[in-house]
Amino acid sequence: MTNTIAFFLAAVIIGLFALDYFILAWGLPILVMQRLITLIDAISFWR
């Protein structure tokens, strides 16, 4: 992954969260954290 691609992906992700915060009000950070907790639970099973 080049720096250009990394900066572009970071800008898209930050832009999506900003759009959600100011306009959409989907509660995207909560959904992301719920999915992350589910992923951590699934990974901890294999440990």
Count Cβ atoms below 10 Å from residue 19 Cβ, excluding itself: 12
pLDDT in the model for residue 10:
96
What pLDDT sits at residue 24? Answer: 87
- Assess contact for 28 and 17: CB atoms under 8 A: yes
pLDDT tens for 7-45 read 999 999 999 999 999 998 888 889 999 999 999 998 987
What is d(CA 26, CA 19) in angstroms, rounded to the nearest whole number?
A: 10
pLDDT of residue 40: 93
pTM of the model: 0.69
Confidence of residue 3 (pLDDT cuts 50, 70, 90): very high
